[in-house]
Amino acid sequence: MCGIVGYIGEENAADIIYKGLERLEYRGYDSAGIALVSQSGEVEIRRSVGKLNRLGANLVKNPLVGKVGIGHTRWATHGKPSEENAHPHTDETKSIVIVHNGIIENYAELKNMLQKEGVTFKSETDTEAVVHLIKKYYKGNLLQAVQTALKEIKGSYALVIIDKNNPDRIVCARLDAPLIIGIGENENFIASDIPALLPYTRKMMFLENGDIAEITKDKISVLDKKNNPCEREIKTILWDAVQAEKGGYKHFMLKEIFEQPRTIEDTFKGRIYPEEGRVYIEEAKLEADFLNKLSKVYIVACGTSYYAGLVGKILIENFARIPAEVDTASEFRYRDPICDNSLIIVISQSGETADTLAALRLAKEKGCPTLAVCNAVGSSLSREAHHVIYTHCGPEIGVASTKAFTGQLTALYVLALDWAAKKESMSKEMLKKYLKELWEIPLKVSEFLKKADSVQEIAKIFTNKRDFLYLGRNVNYPVALEGALKLKEISYIHAEGYPAGEMKHGPIALIDERMPVVAIAPKGKVYEKMLSNIEEAKARGGTVIAVVSEKDEIIKQKSDYQIFIPETDEYLSPIMAVIPLQLLAYYIAVILGCDVDQPRNLAKSVTVE
């Protein structure tokens, strides 16, 4: 998730673009850059690593002057944060300049083809392949070159391009990544999100998937995905800047819950090919001979990331048939673990959690290979681990982790299936089945999120409770833990996640009408066992909220409230089952008037012990 701003008009583009980028920093900030066609007719570029203000300082020392330009704040997915990898990127003649938000799935093939044709690449990014491809087809008309190039591109993109030989226009295109055109007087703007445009205009045109647009200072021409000229509605946006950063949602947490279809897809896209039964993790190439020699995988993390690791253990053991052990980083680092023939996987959204970093460093001191599952390219964890698989969730602003958790689960599914393919521990048919199921998850999550109000109705009933018990089994026991954590960390209501099979060994004594029970019971091999646990809870006066698969008719007689989630393979059910629990916690906390995005006593990244 990156921030894009473009301008064409009579003002100095650099000032407008920079101020627009400042309002998009929540979308990404590991590097930034601006490019203009200067008054001399040449392309001028300024790029800086780190926070946007580094670029600001650069611009003060080396100002840019020109009336058409593009800018970008980066949240890296391919290639570490560096000046070379910062956008904008140009072709070899420095005539065509591009900024991009999204993931070019087939960039490696494009890069290989272009290099064979003699093109020299300067960066590690997927984006650079696009600008060279446009140049390849450029015969003087930028729009036509972009249209031709896009036919060879697979993936998601919001692209904004300028050309020194056509300095009176900007060309842009979007597929599965947002682009908005701001309408001005004798000037026009383009941005990846509304906040960047609000200081200049409230009249906005939202491009649709497959649209390509050519923008001059006084004209906007849009072609739809069939290349037909079309009109896109111009809307007047009345949000203030803060509302706009949240995309109109009341809290970042809610926005991030609703981003999950996109972030789950972004995390597996370019890595799984269901029709071929193929998995490809570019940045974590662990081969069969290495995997076959492993005696154990340790999975180490904190909080929500630890719960993702508990799911990961079951996936790695069942898919790749490698023994796995999960530990909290704060325990692992003090237990002097035996790591012979082991791989240590560390999971962290921020990549800066002190205990997890310490565990990684301990593993390396013991000579263990390490792999990070991380959301922050360039973070300490991702730099220090031997291997890394990135979640592509964009910045997670809400302290309570939501999209990062489902991103971690997605990365762990991809990893476990990659290993199963390499170890041939799973049949090709089963591999294709799981890959197809994973491919369908984003749509199923979208479908469920349309029913978010039904969860809100249930939340209203339980805001006066002081204790909750969350129960799950097998792959959904970690989801019970995660659901309980969500509730307690943002509503301050005590909640406990427990393996449902353990009820008889103690927690059943707690159950009465004052303590609601959330039971996660989707279809699967432990469904009947969960039904028994639900009946036990009911028999003791408990109120049961059951998270169950759609079309489950039995559950209505057994529980008080039901939240139906789309059916999916049992192993994939944690990604589905956690969404209602995120929403339940969110709505209860909002009704209680809690500070959902910044709950008391908590930090987004625990960088101290």
Under the criterion CB under 6 A, does residue 349 sit at the interface with ligand AGP?
A: yes
> How many residues sit in the footprint of ligand AGP (CB under 6 A)?
15
List C-alpha distances in Å: 365 to 361, 370, 588: 6, 11, 45
First-to-last CA distance in the chain?
30
Alpha helices in 219-378 (DSSP H): 241-245, 252-258, 260-268, 288-293, 303-319, 329-332, 354-365
**Of positions 350, 370, 476, 549, contacts ligand AGP by CB under 6 A:** 350
Q: Computed over its alpha carbons, how large is the radius of gyration of the chain?
A: 25
Under the criterion CB under 6 A, does residue 401 sit at the interface with ligand AGP?
A: yes
Under the criterion CB under 6 A, does residue 356 sit at the interface with ligand AGP?
A: yes
Under the criterion CB under 6 A, does residue 400 sit at the interface with ligand AGP?
A: yes
Residue (202 or 488) nearer to ligand AGP, CB: 488
Taking the C-alpha atoms of residue 119 and residue 571, their distance in angstroms, rounded to an integer, is: 44
Query: Which amino acid does the sequence have at 554?
Result: I
Under the criterion CB under 6 A, does residue 267 sit at the interface with ligand AGP?
A: no
364, 366, 432, 604: which one is catalytic?
604
**Of positions 76, 205, 399, 412, contacts ligand AGP by CB under 6 A:** 399
Under the criterion CB under 6 A, does residue 605 sit at the interface with ligand AGP?
A: yes
2, 368, 374, 393: which one is catalytic?
2
How far out from the chain centre does Cα 439 lie? Answer: 15
Under the criterion CB under 6 A, does residue 606 sit at the interface with ligand AGP?
A: yes
**Residue numbers 95-114 binding ligand AGP by CB under 6 A:** none
CB of 606 to ligand AGP, least distance (A): 5
**Of positions 30, 211, 265, 489, contacts ligand AGP by CB under 6 A:** 489
Given a contact cutoff of 8 angstroms between Cβ atoms, the answer to whether 390 and 415 are in contact is: no
Residue (167 or 483) nearer to ligand AGP, CB: 483
**Of positions 348, 380, 382, 533, contacts ligand AGP by CB under 6 A:** 348
> How many Cβ atoms sit within 10 Å of the Cβ of residue 369?
18
- Burial, 164: exposed, middle or buried (Cβ in 10 Å; 0-12, 13-18, 19+)? buried
**Of positions 48, 95, 305, 474, contacts ligand AGP by CB under 6 A:** 305
Residue (90 or 349) nearer to ligand AGP, CB: 349
**Of positions 20, 71, 277, 303, contacts ligand AGP by CB under 6 A:** 303
**Of positions 38, 166, 188, 304, contacts ligand AGP by CB under 6 A:** 304
Q: Which residues contact 45 (CB under 8 A, 6 or more apart)?
A: 33, 34, 35, 88, 90, 97
CB of 391 to ligand AGP, least distance (A): 10
Tokens of 193: 């999100």
**Of positions 353, 476, 559, 582, contacts ligand AGP by CB under 6 A:** 353
CA triple 252-255-260, angle to 5 deg: 125
Tokens of 559: 């529980």
Taking the C-alpha atoms of residue 17 and residue 191, their distance in angstroms, rounded to an integer, is: 9
Under the criterion CB under 6 A, does residue 302 sit at the interface with ligand AGP?
A: yes
* Catalytic status, residue 2: yes
Where does this chain touch ligand AGP (CB under 6 A) — which range of 81-89, 143-151, 345-353, 448-456? 345-353
Site string for ligand AGP, 432-471 (x = CB under 6 A): ----------------------------------------
Residue (22 or 259) nearer to ligand AGP, CB: 259
Given a contact cutoff of 8 angstroms between Cβ atoms, the answer to whether 576 and 565 are in contact is: yes
Taking the C-alpha atoms of residue 438 and residue 66, their distance in angstroms, rounded to an integer, is: 47
Per the DSSP assignment, residues forming a β-bridge with 214 are 171, 221
Query: Which amino acid does the sequence have at 361?
Result: R
* Catalytic status, residue 374: no
Instruction: Provide the binding-site residues for ligand AGP, judged by CB under 6 A.
Output: 302-305, 348-350, 353, 356, 399-401, 489, 605-606
Q: Catalytic amino acids? A: 2, 604
